[in-house]
Amino acid sequence: MPQFSFRAFDGQGKDQAGSIDAASANDAVRQLAARGLFVQNIEAGPTPSSTVSTPSRSAVQPSTQPVSHPRSSGITTTTPPTINRVSPGSPSKPTTPRLPVKTAILKDHELYLLMAQFSNLFRGGITPVEACQTLAQRQSFTPALRAALTEMSRRCAAGDSLADAMEVFVEMFPPGTVGAVRAGETGGYLWQACEYVSAQTQATWKLRRMNNWVSLAFWSTLMMFPIVGIMQSGFKGLFAPLAGTAAPDDGARLYLEGLRGGLFGLFGFLTLSVLIVWIFGPKFFGRRRYLPLRHKLGATMPVVGRRAKLENARALSYHLGRLQEAGLSPYRSWKLASEAVPNLTFSNRMKEAGTPMTESSKLSAAMRTSEILPGEYADLVQTGEMTGTVPQAMAQVMSLAEQDQAHAETAIKIKAWIWVAILVVGVGGIAFALFYRGFYEEAFKAIFAGTGME
C-alpha cells in the first residue's frame, strides 16, 4: 500500500509529523482526521525522518502515487502535488499576521478568470506557492492583483494556507470565495473548488451584465424626480421677463440662477450626495462595508431572492457532498460549507443553524433548521444518511437546485424587463406630468400677470 508523509497538529496545537500507509492522499487525511489530527501538508512518499509522531497502522513501502479525488474524472498528475489543509475552528498557526489589507476591488470577470487559472494549475499538480508566483507574472492582471498574488505566494511559502493568504485581501476575495478555497484545501478537492467558484462567478457576472441595463433604466427613471424638482426652481426666472418683473434679456440668466439654486440647495445636495456615495462609495470606503447590505437586499427581494437562495443551496450541497466524501464529520462539513456559500445573509443563517451541532449531528436536521433548502431536499439527504450515500444524495440536491436556479434566472430576465416597462411608463409618466405642470403653471402666471386672472 502507498505511503504518505504528513505534517499536522492536534487539538492542543502540538505539531505532529510522520508517515502513514493509505490507499490515497484523501484516505490518509481521513485516517488522520479520525485520530483527531488537523492535516496541514501531505505528500506521497516516506518522511525523511523515521520518527512518527502518531502510531502508523502498518509498515509501508514508498510510493509516488499522486493526489486525486474520487470525483476528479480520472485526472492524475505526474508530480505529486502538495495540499495545504488548515481546518477552521482548529488552532491554526499562521506564520504571518493576517490583518486586512486595503486594495483595489477585484471585478467579477477578473475573479472568475483568476479562479479558473488557479483550478488549472492545481489540477496539474502545481503548489499554491508556485501558482501564485506564476499568476503574479500575468500582464493581463492589474498591478494591484499581481502585487496581491506576490504577497500570497510569500505567505503560503511561510506556512499559511491559500485561504488564509486570500483572506488578507478583503476587497479582492469575497468571504464565500475564501470559504470555498478553505473547504477545498481541507477536503482535498482544491482544484475542483476553484473551478466551481469560477463557474459560479461567471454565471453571476453574466446575469449582472444583463441587469445593468435594467438597473440603468430603473435609476434613470427615479432620478427624473429630483431633476424635475431642480428644473422647476428655474421656471420662475425663465418667465420673469414675460411677467414684466425682469428685463427681456434676463430670462436665461435668471433661469440658470434658479437651476443653480436648486442644484446646490438642500434637495439637490442630498440627491448628489446619495448618488456619489452609491456609485463611488465602494471605491473609497471598501466593498466589505457594502457587502452585508447588498447581500441582504439580494436575499430578500422578490424573484432575485429566490435565485440567490437556490444559488446558495447549490453551493452548500456541493461542498457538503465533497466534504462528506472526504470523510469529514457532519459538524465540520457544515461549518466549512456554511462559509463557502456566496451570500453573507445565507451564510450567517447557516452558521446559526450549525451552532447546536455536535460531531454526531445529522446534516438533514441542520438543513431543515437553516430553512435555506426546501424540505424535500432535506428528505433526500436524510435518506442518504440512512443508506450511507450522503455524497450521492448531495449530488442529487445540487442537481435539483441547479435546475431550479436556471428557472429562477429565466424568471428574473422576463420579469425584470416587465417591471422596467411599468416603471418607465408609470413612474416616468408621473415625472413628466410634474415637469409640465410646473412649466405651464409658471408660464400661465407670467402670461396673466397684472390681468387679475392669475
- Same-domain pairing of 124 and 187: yes
Split at pLDDT 50, 70, 90, the class of 101 is: low
Mean pLDDT of 313-320: 92
- Same-domain pairing of 33 and 117: no
Report the DSSP pairing between strands 38-44 and 15-21.
unpaired
The CATH number of whichever domain residue 185 belongs to comes to 1.20.81.30
Q: What are phi and psi of 38, to 5 degrees?
A: -110, 110
Report pLDDT digits (tens) over 282-291: 666 656 677 7
Is 432 a domain residue?
Answer: no
Which residues, in sequence order, are CB contacts of 91 under 8 Å at separation 6+?
9, 11, 12, 13, 38
Mean pLDDT of 436-443: 78
The whole domain housing 53 covers 3-65
Last residue of a domain, one of 158, 176, 202: 202
* Residue 192 clears pLDDT 90, i.e. is over it: yes
Which cell numbers hold the place of 97?
A: 499576521
Mean pLDDT of 119-135: 93
Is 220 a domain residue?
Answer: no
Q: Is 49 exposed, middle or buried (0-12, 13-18, 19+ CB in 10 A)?
A: exposed
Higher-confidence residue of 118 and 269: namely 118
pLDDT at residue number 61: 34
- Same-domain pairing of 60 and 141: no
- Same-domain pairing of 55 and 115: no
Residue 192 CA to residue 177 CA, distance in Å, equals: 13
Split at pLDDT 50, 70, 90, the class of 13 is: low
Which residues, in sequence order, are CB contacts of 381 under 8 Å at separation 6+?
363, 364, 367, 390, 393, 394, 397
Is 21 a domain residue?
Answer: yes
Is 414 a domain residue?
Answer: no
- Same-domain pairing of 125 and 59: no
Split at pLDDT 50, 70, 90, the class of 55 is: very low
Q: How many helices (H) and strands (E) does the chain have?
A: 19, 4
Split at pLDDT 50, 70, 90, the class of 256 is: confident
Is 401 a domain residue?
Answer: no
Report pLDDT digits (tens) over 345-385: 999 999 998 888 887 888 988 888 887 777 888 888 899 98
Residue 363 CA to residue 354 CA, distance in Å, equals: 9
Angle between helices 363-370 and 330-338 (to 10 degrees): 30
- Same-domain pairing of 145 and 197: yes
Half-sphere exposure of 52 (CA within 13 A, CB side): 18
What is the rounded average pLDDT for all residues in the chain? 77
Q: 79-99 burial string, b = 16+ CB within 10 Å, else e?
A: ebbbbbbbbeebebebebeee
Tell me, what DSSP letter sits at residue 67? P
pLDDT at residue number 100: 57
Split at pLDDT 50, 70, 90, the class of 454 is: low
Last residue of a domain, one of 202, 225, 257: 202
Find out whether 370 and 315 touch, Cβ atoms under 8 Å: no
Is 137 a domain residue?
Answer: yes
Number of independent structural domains in the chain = 2
- Same-domain pairing of 45 and 118: no
* Residue 86 clears pLDDT 60, i.e. is over it: no
- Same-domain pairing of 128 and 193: yes
Last residue of a domain, one of 154, 169, 202: 202
Is 437 a domain residue?
Answer: no
pLDDT at residue number 150: 93
Find out whether 194 and 183 touch, Cβ atoms under 8 Å: no
Mean pLDDT of 321-325: 91
Mean pLDDT of 151-162: 92
Find out whether 288 and 172 touch, Cβ atoms under 8 Å: no
Which residues, in sequence order, are CB contacts of 356 under 8 Å at separation 6+?
none
Higher-confidence residue of 45 and 181: namely 181
Report pLDDT digits (tens) over 26-46: 677 778 777 777 666 677 776
